[in-house]
Amino acid sequence: MDEVRIAPAGDGIHAAGEQAQDRLLEAAQAALKLLDRIDQHAPEGLAFGGEGRVRKQLRTAIRRARVEAEDREWADEAEALDEERTLMGRNLTERERAAFLGGFCERRAEMRR
Q: Which residue from 68, 71, 78 is spatially nearest to 101, judged by alpha carbons?
A: 78
Whether 1 has a pLDDT exceeding 60, the answer reads no
Cα 1 to its chain centre, rounded Å, is 18
The pLDDT confidence band at residue 14, using thresholds 50, 70 and 90, is: low
Q: What is the mean pLDDT of residues 72-89?
A: 79
Q: What is the mean pLDDT of residues 65-93?
A: 79
Express each pLDDT in 28-52 by its tens digit.
899 989 888 888 887 777 777 778 8
The contacts of residue 101 (CB under 8 Å, 6+ apart) are: 77, 81
Residue boundaries of the structural domains of the chain: 14-112
